[in-house]
Structure 1
Amino acid sequence: MTEEPTLRVGDVEVARYVLHPDLDPRHGPRPYLHPVRTLAGTPVTDAFPADHVWHLGASLAVQDVDGTNLWGGRTYVRDIGYTWRDDHGVIAHTGWGDRGPDRLEHELQWRDRDGRVLLTEHRRLGAAPVAPDVWRLDVDYTLTAPVERDVHLGSPATNGRPGGAGYGGFFWRAVADGEPSVFTNDNEGEQAANGSAAPWVAMTGVTPGGGAYTLVFTGLGSGDRWFVRTAMYPGVCVAFAFDHPAVVPAGGDRPGRHAVLVADGTLDRARIAALLDRRDGA
């Protein structure tokens, strides 16, 4: 069995990349980062939680890709609700590009349950130091549609579920003992952050082991929105189809570029702004 790739900042392993998960097809098999840790070693991702077993650390996952569920779990069906269907596909690694201690680059295929390729993807993950207590995860990818057809990306919200359930995209399932706090550059709370197009979203929490952390998410693309949960579970998603379907045109690309600051302790807005300014000026 091949050892799982890792990302490192200097001598510190900050993330492990599960490339070929051996999962029940209903859990949406796909590569995912877990555990992701702060520089002090505090884990900040969760996988296989009892409330949503198909939540897998940090990953790309969409519930409706031309009718294929690549998120896992039940599918939301208009006028019916969540339903178990035989519609689960897989996101599969197909080849490596550049690799190093602080970077992983590879090719993937998004496939339906019969193995038909829905999308191809080029993905690059990177880890970089920002401060003695902060590092940055960079997530860059390009999704490409087949030349012969458009590919539609949807969510429970676009399929009729109310309540701002527009999830699907780059999703981070965090770990927290109790309800974490979430805020943006100018607002606070799940209700304000969910569905917003704020320049960044921060989540602060404490793990069951007592480690305090802050995660700062940036990088919405055109038409993207933040999907945020704190009360039901701790999670943040760059949502591709929050309130209307997205389309990858035939033969065309959908690029994405996100960054997550992973910090020990609880950061306030001023510290976050300073860290983001440092990055933008680098």
Structure 2
Amino acid sequence: MRITHEIGQWIGLTDDNGIERLRYDYASAPKPFIHPLRLPDGTVITEHEPPDHTWHRGLWFAFKFVNGINYWEERDEIFGRQETMRTPQCSALPNDSFRITSATNWRDQGQDRVRDYREWRYQIDQSGTSMLECYTKLEALEDITLDRTPFTTWGGYGGLFVRLRNDLQDAKLVFDDGTVTTRCTGERYKWGGIEGTTPDDKDCAVVFLPSPQNTRYPEPFYGAAKTDYNFFGPAPLFNGPIILKAGETLTYQVRVLIVPRRINPDEINTFLTVPPSDGG
């Protein structure tokens, strides 16, 4: 694979066939994101700034409220940003894998609330599935409450989420216990994924495997798979906020699989046995 770094803008990882499999954009929006995610043949599977939710950009990590300030949506007069502190670094690791490291400050009204040390590790499996590990350590720079909108008919979301392209057909949510549905509102699972078929008959899926080391494992999941709206991810705050005192840290890790076919639970379960990253 080849690393391309447009300094101050983005980092791309391109495979041996010349396909840019992912791009980490750390400068063009109020928070970093990964878009596009591509299948081995180059098919883009993520959506970027759809009209219904312009703050949905591929794959991203954020909690909705930090001390009451909205860090998720970007439509309020005052909203939070994740500002990159220094140029992210990308390096090759053994077994044709790659690591991107970055540090951001979660900031609003000129005040830094949280420091975020994040690492992404990326590797392509022989089956064509790519594995993306997200490891983040949040350090509270003051007493903070990480919170969400309590669920009524919507709400409860926040964490690592994906927005897949709007035109997927026969989209579904699939979970480790065999559940297949089109909507999930806080049920707990070891892993969960969203799958569908593009208009040109390319099957695809994105599967989230939260680490057993996370404080709320097995985690609630939230999302929907339906016409024009394919939004999904683990939602650790679904049942309540996380409170950190100044100087305390919260570590959080999720393995993400980008699969060029429909979800096969037996295949996904093999990735449960892969040792987690140490976040180093």
| Both proteins in one fold, TM over 0.5 | yes
- Cα shift readout 1:106-160 (whole Å, capped 9, x = no counterpart): 1100001x220010010011111223321101111100001xx321111111xxx
Deviations 1:161-194 (A, max 9, x none): 5035201111111124235111111122144x43
Supply the AA of the counterpart residue of 2:23.
R
1:166 aligns with 2:156: yes
Determine if contact 1:43/1:207 at 8 Å carries over to the other structure.
no
Q: Are the counterparts in 1 of residues 168 and 199 from structure 2 also a CA contact under 8 Å? A: yes
CA apart distance, 1:6: 1.5
Counterpart of 1:261 in structure 2: which amino acid? Answer: L
**1:73-222 map, 5 Å:** 73=74, 85-96=76-87, 98-100=89-91, 102-112=98-108, 114-146=109-141, 149-157=142-150, 161-163=151-153, 165-175=155-165, 176-186=167-177, 187-191=179-183, 193-219=184-210, 221-222=214-215
Amino acid at match of 2:70: N
Partners of 2:276 and 2:83 in 1: CA distance? 36
8 Å CA contact 1:6, 1:17 repeated in 2: yes
Q: Structure 1 counterpart of 2:126, which letter?
A: A
- CA distance in 2 between counterparts of 1:73 and 1:89 reads 8
> What residue in structure 1 maps to residue 255 of structure 2?
259
> Which of 18, 27, 32 is 1:20 aligned to?
27
Q: Tell me if 1:228 matches 2:223.
A: yes
Contact 1:145 1:251 in 2 (8 A): yes
CA distance in 2, matches of 1:165, 1:208: 30
Residue 95 of structure 2 aligns with which residue?
Answer: none
Deviation (angstroms), 1:242: 0.6
More strand by share: 2
- Report the alpha carbon displacement of residue 48 of structure 1 after superposing the two structures with TM: 0.6
CA distance in 2, matches of 1:92, 1:73: 14
Which residue of structure 2 aligns with residue 61 of structure 1?
62
Gaps of 5+ in 2: 1-5, 93-97
Distance, in Å, in 2 between the alignment partners of 1:138 and 1:182 is 21
SS of residue paired to 2:49: coil
Q: How many percent identity over aligned positions?
A: 23
Deviations 1:233-274 (A, max 9, x none): 212222232121111222110101111111111132222223
**What TM-score does the superposition give when structure 2 sets the normalisation length?**
0.83
Please report the TM-score for the alignment, with normalisation by the length of structure 1. Answer: 0.83
Check conservation: 1:48, 1:56, Cα contact below 8 A: yes
Q: Deviations over 1:30-51 (max 9, x none)?
A: 1100001122222221111122
Q: Tell me if the contact between 2:65 and 2:148 (Cα under 8 Å) persists in the aligned partners.
A: yes
Q: Is 1:6 aligned to residue 12 of structure 2?
A: yes
Q: 1:56 to 1:126 in 2, by over 3 A?
A: same
Instruction: Provide the C-alpha distance between the structure 1 equivalents of 2:110 and 2:121, rounded to a whole number of angstroms.
Output: 29
Structure 2 residue matching 1:30: 3-state secondary structure: coil
In the alignment, the residues of structure 2 paired with residue 118 and residue 62 of structure 1 have an alpha-carbon distance, to the nearest angstrom, of 13
Relative to structure 2, which stretch is displaced further, 1-10 or 44-53?
1-10
Kindly state the Cα deviation for residue 225 of structure 1 after the two structures are TM-superposed: 2.0
Q: CA RMSD in A?
A: 2.3
Unaligned runs of 5+ in 1: 24-28, 75-84
